[in-house]
Amino acid sequence: MSKQVVFSSVEIREYPYVLGDNPACSSGAPLSIDWKPQDMYTRDIEMFEYTRKDSRKRKAPKVSVQKRAHILLSSGYSIDQIGAAVLKVDEIKKMRADSLKSTGLGDRTKMLLETTGRIPKDILTGMAGLLVVKPTKSTITARSA
C-alpha cells in the first residue's frame, strides 16, 4: 500500500522590491523584496506547471547595478536614499575587511566556515602552499644524490 500526496492548486505571492541592506552585492545598492506580498492569486497546479518557465535548472540571474537603480527609482526611492544605502554597504564591507585583517588565517577560516557554512575553494588551494607538515619520529626522509 503506497501513500500519496496530491496538490490541486498553487498559491502565488508577488512581493514588491525594496531597498536592501545585504553587503554581499559587488557594487551598487542591494535589492531585496518586502515582507508583505503586494498580490496573491491561486492557480490550478497543472496549468501552473504547463505555463511556468523552467527556473529550477538555472541559477538566479544577476541584476546589473543600472537595472537595480532603475528598479529602485521606479519603486519610489530617491537618488539620496539609494546613495545612502550604497555608502552604508560600502562601510559594512570596509568594517568586515578590517576585521579579517586583524585576525589570523586560522581565525579567518573559522569565521568563513561559521558565516557561510563552507570554505571557498580558492582559500583552500592558496593554503596548500602554507601548510607545512612537521616530520615525526616515524617519518622517513629520502634524499636523492
Residue 80 placed within a domain? yes
Residue 81 lies in a domain: yes
State the sign of the Cα–Cα–Cα–Cα dihedral 99, 103, 109, 113: negative
Residue 141 lies in a domain: no
Residues 47 and 114 in one domain: no
Residues 18, 30, single domain; the answer is yes
Radius of gyration of the chain (CA): 25
Helix axes 65-74 and 79-102, enclosed angle (nearest 10)? 130
Residues 44 and 31 in one domain: yes
- Find how far residue 47's CA is from the centre of its chain: 32
Query: Considering the domain boundaries, does residue 1 fall inside one?
Result: no
Which of 29, 91, 93, 92 is closest to 66 using CA atoms?
A: 29
* pTM (two decimals): 0.58
Q: Looking at the structure, do residues 85 and 130 belong to the same domain, yes or no?
A: no
Domain that holds residue 27: 9-102
Mean pLDDT per 10-residue section of the chain, whose length is 145 residues: 88 94 87 94 90 69 89 94 92 84 66 65 52 51 53
| pLDDT value at residue 130 | 46
